[in-house]
Chains A and B, each alone.
Chain A
Amino acid sequence: MAGENSTASSWKFLRRLVLGLFVALCLALFLLWRIDNPRVERFRMALIDRFVPSMGWMLTPVTSVTRMLDDYRSYDQIYQQNLELRRELQRMEVWREAASQLEQKNAELRALNNLRLNPSLAYVAGELMADSGGPYSQSGLLNIGLIDGVADGQAVVDGNGLIGRVAGVGENTSRLLFLTDTSSQVPVHIPNARQHGILTGDNSENPLLQFASDPDEVATGMRVVTSGDGGVFPSDILVGEVVRGVDGRLRVLLVADYRNAEFLRVLRDASDDMGIEPGGVVGDIPPPLPELDATLPAEAPVQ
């Protein structure tokens, strides 16, 4: 009887010890995540890169069925949509004519100026395959990764305009951080007001437009495009238009369609490899200064 009791109590003690160890492990991981975030995020991306494609047998059919149901629901509004599309088409016919005339004029002007456009901006198309699965991040998972030439920081666009940037790359998948996420900050330009600003996500549908040099000059309805400052994003990608939020602050109504995002394009500069390791620092990395090395004396002068 006494033996049984001592076995039970030692078993209880062992169990508490293991629980304590697991609690300590979790706390250590949490601290590591806060302190050395890029390394943990790299590990996270590598794990997702293995786990999510392995669950594709379930993800693909369920997504397809959900999409079919969604399409079926949209049949209700098909007549209304058809009428709307016809009206839009009529308007677009006028714009097409104007665009073709402008294109011709542009070509003539380019020829006059002997202008060479940068042909090196390439893109790779991918499919948005999964959500972040909760409120912790406004992001999605793309089915293209390192082997397709995707790198951290590259701009991602849908058919309408900028939707976000790549933030985490695995072999076969990459994470797309939406403009609405709190970690997203994109330098933008408002051509009509000739002002620059930073588009900052705040987990709302319309991200904040901050640091405009003269906010009074910025009016609602003005077009917002990427400025290309910092050398991460190409310039002049359409982002949206300026709106004023209920709080009176300047915000941007995004043109990207987050409700029906499916096929997206990752823009990459084919000529200029940014050379960023996954999880590395995004932006211009200053090159080493060989002149400085050459000017240094081989040995320190003896005092």
Chain B
Amino acid sequence: MSGWRIAFNRTIFVITAALCITIPLITLDYSVDRVLPPDLFYALCVSWIIRQDKTADMPLVIIMALLADFVLMRPVGLGALLILVTTEIARNNARVLRDQGFILEWLAVSIGFGLMMLVQNLLLTFAFANRVALSDIGQISLSTILCYPFMSAFLYYVLRIRHGAGRLRINRLGRVA
């Protein structure tokens, strides 16, 4: 992948992440039992890193995760920490997740999100801060899991975030260029 293409994709990542942080702010219903939005930022980061980890670097992820913490009224630093750890695990296992097929990737990402929310609640308990209700965790987890395939399809087909695109080209003689 050429240098300008990497820079372009990094810019796209930042813009898409900013959109994913803003979209949950839109609502007309401010009641307690409103439908909670999915964690689009998590779905974006993990799906992007599994497909093209080069263009979603660790510093970019941490900056946007901290922005999400501040804007979405999350416990500052904690959300970013968990996103960082989860994305690093995804980055280290990206090849395996890609090769196993989408269903297994989806399952792994779903388990990862559930664990992330539970660890967050545990750390909030240790810090004597307000915890998130288990029903809310269930609702957010479900919507995030359901939106993950759409996010992956959007990245793959619309933004064309694909692994090794333009790098492993096979020529007419069957050789890898």
Contact = CB atoms under 8 A, between A and B. Distances in A.
Interface of A: 15, 18-19, 22-23, 25-34, 40, 43-44, 47-48, 51-52, 55, 58-59, 62-63, 66-67, 70, 128, 130-141, 178, 180, 182, 203-205, 258-262
Given A63-B28, A141-B25, A258-B29, A134 B74 contact: yes
Interface stretch (B76-84, B103-111, B169-177): B76-84
A118 B81 CA distance: 52
23 contacts: A26-B84, A40-B76, A47-B71, A51-B67, A51-B70, A59-B26, A67-B28, A130-B25, A131-B34, A132-B25, A133-B21, A133-B37, A133-B72, A134-B24, A134-B72, A135-B133, A135-B140, A136-B75, A136-B130, A136-B132, A203-B32, A259-B31, A260-B29
A137 B73 contact: yes
A54 B24 CA distance: 16
B150 to A, nearest CB: 17
B26 A134 contact: no
A138 B71 CA distance: 14
Contact of B24 (A15, A22, A33, A131): A131
Contacts of A128: 30
Contacts of B33: 205
B81 A23 contact: yes
A43 to B, nearest CB: 8
Given A33-B76, A47-B71, A48-B70, A134 B36 contact: yes
A18 B91 CA distance: 15
In which size bucket is the chain B interface? Answer: 35 or more
Contacts of A59: 22, 25-26
B85 interface: yes
Contact of B37 (A44, A55, A134): A134
Q: List 4 tightest A-B contacts by C-beta distance, closest first.
A: A29-B77, A30-B77, A26-B81, A133-B24
Interface string B49-63: 000000000110010
B147 interface: no
Nearest to B84: A22
A204 B32 contact: yes
B17 interface: no
B1 interface: no
B25 A22 contact: no
Contact of B77 (A32, A67, A135, A203): A32
Contact of A47 (B23, B70, B88): B70
A210 B36 CA distance: 28
Contacts of B73: 44, 132-134, 136-137, 139
